[in-house]
Amino acid sequence: DGGITQSPKYLFRKEGQNVTLSCEQNLNHDAMYWYRQDPGQGLRLIYYSQIVNDFQKGDIAEGYSVSREKKESFPLTVTSAQKNPTAFYLCASRWGAASGANVLTFGAGSRLTVL
């Protein structure tokens, strides 16, 4: 079945540690996105990538880093510079070029908790 796989589903981190969240898609989608969701809030865009080896900052990129070495994969690293990293992280992907419908397919999310 085609879809987006995020791992791990739950992750605990000590302060000062970097952690990497995995996002893999087998939909052959061109663009991939990372969003952050806080309790009772909407989604805020962290980073997005339209093609391999290229990515752009979203609205809240500080303290995060990404890479896009393969079309299928878009891992997110939450660095120690992110002061309030406890949140639910959602990865999404979109097929096709910039124009046209911008419909996203989402993964099931990763919940990060800082101890």
Of the two residues 81 and 108, which places its CB atom closer to another protein in the complex? 108
Site string for another protein, 39-68 (x = CB under 8 A): -xxxxxx--x-x-----x-xx---------
Of 72, 102, 91, 110, give the one whose Cα is nearest residue 33.
Answer: 91
Q: Which part of the chain contacts another protein (CB under 8 A), choosing from 16-24, 65-73, 75-83, 95-103?
A: 95-103
Round to whole Å and give the CA distance between 63 and 79.
Answer: 5
Integer angstrom CA distances of residue 90 from 28, 62, 75, 107 = 18, 17, 11, 6
Q: Least distance from C-beta 88 to another protein, angstroms?
A: 8
Round to whole Å and give the CA distance between 30 and 108.
Answer: 19
Residues at the interface with another protein (CB under 8 A) = 4, 6, 31, 33, 35, 40-45, 48, 50, 56, 58-59, 88, 90, 92, 98-99, 101-109, 111
